[in-house]
Structure 1
């Protein structure tokens, strides 16, 4: 049974939005790794998916020219993205070729800057030139199709083939040459390649081969699809006889609007529009499968999930895997509070010596006001600190439970080896056992 037209439009719009979201997920770590080719790929295909979604929402059930400036911008972006994705694949293959043929492990800053400018000239410069040449073979301003939105319009002239339609073929051939040379160099110089991978934190074997796989697939599909597009255009529409720009630009500012019933009466136009809609969606999903499901991507997802969980107070598994932690004051598998012991002291300026990693359950004012004076402490002059439950027997006798943990029984720890001068003012944080020092703040 055929799907109703409006339902099909909603499905196309939903997948366009999904493609934009999926391809945008790996953007951060590609920016962090300075992968210019992948960033350009995300920009062109992600922008195309987003524009499709907006167009389908605006012109879901009408073909009224309600946003002419938007259509002027987006039709030219469509021209640029058709060339931009091919150029992004070329940038990726070119970078992989230079990595496989590098003669030195490190590169100077000038070399990196030169490579960056070259990649940007290829990935952005070529599409911009293609947009600038669009005026010479453009028929009129643009067309609006119900359920699709605004699209560029140009007659089937030889200028269109020369200045736009055939460009992916030479770009794809150059990219395929780089890809072949990269594979050849990789197998011939594997040892030096291993040294390069060991010295580069932003590139690993898995990421390298994923980049190569993405670029190779783009090359394999770019040239055949371009040839198929040319053959279909010649079969469906005859070559328009070029009589000069005056004839080509006759009534140049007009906008043709077509209802869904009108343009869907042509099976050839239906195939063209389906290919136009689903090609960027497929490229976006393909990119996400290569980079959005990798190991480093899963690590980013876990970090993001943990960060969000901490902000909203949801309990998550800690890194050690021994228990759960949350933003509340209770920790561990149960709800029992760890017994806290505080050494007696009468000096009021001693709170400055508390480590910022100690438990925040301790009330400094209560300790200073409620603890009695002890002659044995008068000569120590030490700062107030959390004493170890495994200190010497004398030190344990001078310890009392914290005022905020009076409901917790004192644990009778076994007698440890005698510690030299446990009340020394120079006592370091290393004397505090790891069971308290490492879980003082994490378990709050």
Structure 2
């Protein structure tokens, strides 16, 4: 997996950047935050896979402190952003007064708080059930340590599950879809010039639901592996934030390796859901074509430059000059 992990992670990190300018123009802070979080975590996964290939030493303590916290924060960042998307779409489909400047400022403030403030608080609260500074796994990098106790259920695993199920209830169970189905024709007629068309509405709801389903799967997998030996008594909990545990691939249990691979695969799947549902729209396809054209121009530029350098070197050698 040491070839697939960095390659697919870097590809995912690059792809999730394409929709961000469109979401920025549309003022969709929640959708922008999903792309930003996916970019950050995919980049971390790729760098860690390259840095710790065949190694499990800790050369960069500060890097591990930051990355393990960010990987932890994304567990609630994505479902929180998806919940904000569904709340905003429901208000638009029910024709609430979303165009007022006061309401828009409140929505932006709420989405910034939910998409960035809540994940950082969640990552900070993780220290309650953190027995040591972090763990380092060969070929995977740094991960936060979790003491498997009842407190960890409420601090680590219940918040992302609760936000995910709230998103599903808010969207799939009827609230968002019910307003859209009841007012779908009126929505299409009254918002013809809006960036949020009926097709974009459906894609955003579908993206939110697919993202939280992936979050539920990742949370259940992590919870089942961490609690496979049962809940530990809180009385036995000890904390030493100077301790760092390192595990070689041979010393890492197969269940932990399977959990790490599953978490990485789910993150890649979330990235492809994010970009795939965006590309289904006309705006997404045009932006992707523009990006492909830019990449082709960049590649052709470097190709022409390398050809010119090779020709100049050949000319210099033929004339008896040795290039520096």
TM beyond 0.5: yes
CA separation in 2, counterparts of 1:142 and 1:156? Answer: 15
Q: Residue 391 of structure 1 aligns with which residue?
A: none
2:49·2:141 contact (CA, 8 Å) conserved in 1?
Answer: yes
Higher mean C-alpha deviation, range 303-312 or range 146-155 = 303-312
Change in Cα spacing, 1:281 to 1:256, as seen in structure 2 (3 Å) is: same
Secondary structure at the aligned position of 2:142 is classed as strand
The C-alpha deviation readout for 1:144-195, integer Å capped at 9, x for no partner, is: 1110011111211111111111112221222123212011111222343123
Task: Provide the alpha-carbon RMSD of the alignment.
Answer: 2.4
Aligned to 1:32: 25
Q: Counterpart in 2 of 1:182? A: 176
In structure 2, C-alpha distance between the alignment counterparts of 1:309 and 1:41, rounded to whole Å: 28
Q: Cα deviations across residues 327-371 of structure 1 (Å, max 9, x unaligned)?
A: xxxxxxxxxxxxxxxxxxxxxxxxxxxxxxxxxxxxxxxxxxxxx
Is residue 145 from structure 1 mapped to residue 137 from structure 2 by the alignment?
A: yes
**Alignment partner of 1:217 is 2:217:** no
Aligned 8 A contact 2:19 2:275 in 1: yes
Q: Which residue does the alignment assign to 1:255?
A: 244
CA distance in 1, matches of 2:184, 2:280: 27
Q: Deviations over 1:385-428 (max 9, x none)?
A: xxxxxxxxxxxxxxxxxxxxxxxxxxxxxxxxxxxxxxxxxxxx
**C-alpha displacement of 1:226:** 3.6
Residue aligning to 1:12: 5
| Distance in 1 separating the partners of 2:131 and 2:296 | 55
As a proportion of its length, which structure holds more helix?
A: 2
Rounded Cα–Cα distance in structure 2 between residues aligned with 1:312 and 1:135: 46
* Cα distance in 1 for residues equivalent to 2:299 and 2:254: 53
Q: Which moved more, 1:144-153 or 1:298-307?
A: 298-307
Partner of 1:63: 56
Sort the Cα spacing of 1:283 and 1:313 in 2 relative to 1 into closer, same or farther, 3 A. Answer: closer
Secondary structure at 2:95 match in 1: coil
2:270 is the counterpart of 1:283? yes
For residues 153 and 159 of structure 2, the distance between their equivalents in structure 1, rounded to whole angstroms, comes to 8
Tell me the equivalent position of 1:116: 108
Quote the Cα distance in structure 2 between the aligned partners of 1:313 and 1:285: 27
Larger Rg: 1
1:105-149: per-residue Cα shift (whole Å, max 9, x none)? x71211111111111111122212211211111110011111001
What secondary structure, in the 3-state scheme, does the structure 1 residue paired with 2:2 have?
helix
TM-score normalised by structure 1 residue count: 0.63
Q: How does 1:15-414 map to 2 (within 5 A)?
A: 15-103=8-96, 107-179=99-171, 180-200=174-194, 202-223=195-216, 226-227=219-220, 229-234=222-227, 236-243=228-235, 247-249=237-239, 251-263=240-252, 266-303=253-290
CA distance in 1, matches of 2:275, 2:295: 23
User: So what's the TM-score if we normalise by structure 2?
Assistant: 0.85
TM-aligned CA deviation for residue 228 of structure 1:
5.1
Q: Which has the higher contact order (CA 8 A, sep 6+)?
A: 2
Q: How many angstroms apart in 2 are the aligned matches of 1:96 and 1:26?
A: 18
Using a 3 Å threshold, how does the CA distance of structure 1 residues 162 and 312 change in structure 2: closer, same or farther?
closer
